[in-house]
Chain A
């Protein structure tokens, strides 16, 4: 109950912040790009399964670039609300345990991540409907849609990003200057992505900033199960270390 009260408090703080609008805009980037592509070049109708292909391509583009970047940015932006407004002292003198404050902030980030993923699917669906009306000859809506596959892909994207999310959350809480956590996150994301595509490094199986690739890139998908567990493990470890750090640091200065 106390955790829910703390979470309510965190959600109210997010109202009208850049983080909330950023979530919706971020979720619309790939669907909007599809729509632009559709208007400019039309749709290739050579595919046997156009509807599922559109969602698959959307999941790949989203999972490789937009979603990890969104997580890195959102994990920094939310803790920044307290630093920017000089409100840590008010948070820490209110009758909430530090554990509740810490967990509520992490859960709030996950709420926004879920909003991002759901909004993304919603925007993709709207794009498909728009495509159907723009080019009715494709008859997109009459093709079967593998909903289960979409849900599994979305869950895989969520699980493989958990490690990065917890690490970035800890870094975001630790640094008053928001540039530092974003720079660290983006540099590691680029390293992790290159590690899979460019260097084909086996270390990518253990490097949390590479895990997002496993949920979308077919050539490494065999290692998905392992990295999903590793991602959860990294998340647990980063949360424990992050909480110990949060509990002992002077957040109000």
Chain B
């Protein structure tokens, strides 16, 4: 993977007509060949950001560059190379799956064989003359993904694509995204409000909350951040003395116990030895590693 930016936003800010600032200084950087998980709770500004990136909303402040071109000056050329799914499925209910793809086939310059291929990828090749309004939500979502794949895009933008999918469908989608990234070299930007849902497939993560980016970088950097957040909870016969003994570990007082940041289990054992050799009874020694989900909640709740 090289470090060329596919999407680069600079100082992106946006407010809806009500005047409330929805996005503030968003500097998104999606690298070529990456799977970028764009995370945040509902209402944090994910869809607004993606709508700006796709040109659905008019940019008010800041700059958007995609494939090294400015969005406002090369909108059509850029959109030729993007497949997208924004929020709910966007399909014609009175048409069949094939007819829905046919509406956009020539617009994207795709071949008839490509229509059959993408229907096959999402397992909808056998829906025949059944019109889309009779599809389940999961089928509609899969057809929307097929539509996003129709242009054979260099960049795939999926906004909450697992909405409406059952657990098996979510796993299938995850495998499909990995395959598209690995075999076709597609750069994928996928938004979700569930970290656990995307952490198994993404290479990069951006966390947005209340319209501001809290974290952005490779997943490994988030893991490093996670390790720093692990804490050891200690309860002894004399917490005040324990607090003094562990001063170099920067302890914090919690209800009836202390919490000390730690990096590995050897450190936990050393702390235990320090306490017992100073004649303190240790009632509780609970190392709590911060999983990514907890970290996500901590990151977003700390700002609220």
* Interface positions of A (Cβ within 8 A of B): 5-6, 8-9, 12-13, 15-17, 81, 84-90, 92-97, 248, 250, 252
Instruction: Given A5-B106, A89-B51, A252-B86, output 13 extra A-B contacts at Cβ < 8 Å.
Output: A9-B106, A16-B94, A16-B95, A85-B93, A86-B88, A90-B147, A92-B55, A92-B56, A93-B55, A95-B151, A97-B76, A248-B58, A252-B56
Whether B86 and A93, one on each chain, are in contact in the complex, defined by CB atoms closer than 8 angstroms, is yes
Across the interface, which residues of B come within 8 angstroms of A8, CB to CB? 106
Contact with A along B88-130 (1 / 0, CB 8 A): 1111111100010011101110000000000000000000000
Q: How far is the CB of B246 from chain A (nearest CB, A)?
A: 55
13 contacts between A and B (CB under 8 A): A15-B94, A17-B94, A86-B88, A87-B92, A89-B51, A89-B87, A89-B90, A93-B55, A94-B79, A95-B79, A95-B108, A97-B75, A250-B56
**Is B187 engaged at the interface, CB distance under 8 Å to the other chain?**
no
CA distance A87 to B147 in the complex (A): 12
B82 at the interface (CB under 8 A from A): yes
Q: Does B80 contact A (CB under 8 A)?
A: yes
A96: which of B89, B92, B107, B151 is its contact (CB, 8 Å)? B107
Chain A neighbourhood of B44, CB < 8 A: none
Whether the pair B90, A94 counts as a contact (CB closer than 8 A) is: no
Nearest CB in chain A: distance from B19 CB, A: 16
Nearest CB in chain B to that of A81: its residue: B92
Complex CA distance for A89 and B144, rounded to whole angstroms = 12
In whole Å, how far is B265's beta carbon from the nearest beta carbon of chain A? 50
Distance in angstroms from A91 CB to nearest chain B CB is 8
Task: Considering the complex, give the chain A residue whose CB is closest to the CB of B133.
Answer: A85
Docked Cα-Cα span, A54 to B107, in Å, equals 46
Q: Which A-chain residue is minimally distant from B144 (CB atoms)?
A: A90
Contacts of A92 in B (CB 8 A): 55-56
Contact A95–B56 (Cβ < 8 Å): no
Given contacts A6-B107, A12-B102, A13-B103, A93 and B94 within 8 Å (CB-CB)? no
Name the A residues within 8 Å of B106 (CB-CB): 5, 8-9
Contact call B91/A85, Cβ cutoff below 8 A: yes
Residues of A within 8 A of B80 (CB): 95
Given A12-B102, A13-B92, A16-B94: A93 in contact with B76 (beta carbons within 8 A):
no
Asked whether B54 is an interface residue with its Cβ less than 8 Å from the other chain, the reply is: yes
Whole-angstrom CA separation of A97 from B92 in the bound complex: 21
Most chain A CB within 10 A, of B82, B89, B92, B95, is at B92
Residues in A with CB closer than 8 Å to B82 are 93
Residues in B whose Cβ lies below 8 Å from that of A93: 54-56, 79, 82, 84, 86
With A12-B103, A252-B56: A96-B91 Cβ-Cβ less than 8 Å? no
B107 surroundings in chain A (CB, below 8 A):
5-6, 9, 94-96
B57 at the interface (CB under 8 A from A): yes
Interchain CA distance A120-B87 in the complex, whole Å:
43
> Which among B51, B57, B87 has the greatest number of chain A C-beta atoms within 10 A?
B51
Instruction: List, in ascending order, chain A residues with CB within 8 A of B102's CB.
Output: 12
